[in-house]
Amino acid sequence: MTKCIVCGNKNTKRVIEMGFHPLADTFLSKSQLLSPQVLYPLNCLLCQKCGHFQNEIFVSGEERYIESNYSYTSSNSPSAMAHWDEFCDTVSKFTDLAREDVVIEFGSNDGYLIKQFQKKGALVTGIKMVFQQSAIF
């Protein structure tokens, strides 16, 4: 996808190329261990109009979350929870977060991080990505 998903501009520029990678946090079954793993180019684009930074390649929601047995959520990993707790504390101090401030988290997964800001009194909104036919809405 070379069109900006924010403004629709077709003038995007590849600014980062990180080679080919399998889908992250994917657990293979025994029967899959000897089969070739699908790899995707991990490239990032910059929109020349609005400055949005995005992945160049989008994997369909079905392939990412259903076919690949994706299991990552922050709440099922003690190290992830510790990381997001520390992140919340750091951001709160750096921004001088006050009660009733608004925090919006894009790609909020299971909502663990946004709940940490809510505990500090912030008004929160978590936005999950919704996939349908390889598109983000």
pTM: 0.53
Give pLDDT, residue 132: 42
Give pLDDT, residue 97: 95
Per-residue pLDDT of the chain (137 residues; tens, 9 = 90+): 678 888 999 999 999 999 998 887 777 778 888 888 889 998 999 999 998 889 898 887 777 777 776 667 788 888 889 999 999 999 999 999 999 999 988 778 788 999 999 999 999 998 765 544 333 33
Six token digits for residue 3:
């069109």
Sign of torsion, CA 4 12 25 76?
A: negative
Residues 104 and 118: beta-carbon distance below 8 Å? no
C-alpha separations of 92 from 42, 73, 87, 106 in Å: 31, 22, 8, 17
Give pLDDT, residue 129: 56
- Residues 6+ away with beta carbon under 8 Å from 12: 2, 3, 4, 45, 46, 47, 48, 54
Q: Residue 109, by phi and psi: left (phi above 0), alpha (psi -120 to 50) or beta? A: left
Classified as helix, coil or strand, 12 is strand
Compute φ and ψ for 48, nearest 5 degrees: -75, -10
Residue 80 bridge partners (DSSP)? none
Give pLDDT, residue 69: 66
